[in-house]
Amino acid sequence: MPQLSPPFDAHLLGVATFDLSGLPKEYFTLAHSQLGMTWVKPIFQVIGMRSLLSASLALENFRYSVMQGKDYGALIVRMPNDYLAVLLKGDINSFDPQLSAELLDWVKHLDMKQFRQNPLYQAV
């Protein structure tokens, strides 16, 4: 599996936002991909699981979560008013701490407007 490296947008397959209760708000994938919204459901489940666990455990400082599949992975980041998830080609589990910090910073600075107006992405 290819290693993830900057520029991260070269690895980007999709992006989604979820409200604080975990419900999907909007999501985009590359227009030429066949992904559809199948990748959104597991992220919805992870956010829901986080809510269930936080009812019985101290998870107030949840910052991000990683889900890794065979060919791609998802990074779910807690933002001030919602959750932002990105779907990336490659292995996002095996990078060094410096790269991890760069990736988190990149995700935190994504603006959903750029996907609404970009013909490379389609709303699903």
Mean pLDDT in the chain? 83
Condensed to tens digits (0 to 9), the pLDDT of residues 10-51 reads 999 999 999 888 888 999 998 888 777 788 888 888 887 777
Checking if the pLDDT of 120 tops 70, the result is yes
Which residue would you say has higher pLDDT here, 35 or 9? Answer: 9
**Is 91 strand, coil or helix?**
strand
The CATH classification number of 8-112 equals 3.30.450.30
Which residue would you say has higher pLDDT here, 91 or 105? Answer: 105
Q: How far apart are CA 31 and CA 92, in angstroms?
A: 23
Q: How far apart are CA 83 and CA 120, in angstroms?
A: 23
Checking if the pLDDT of 2 tops 80, the result is no
Q: How far apart are CA 14 and CA 85, in angstroms?
A: 8
Checking if the pLDDT of 109 tops 90, the result is yes
Which residue would you say has higher pLDDT here, 56 or 82? Answer: 82
Cα-trace Rg, the chain: 14
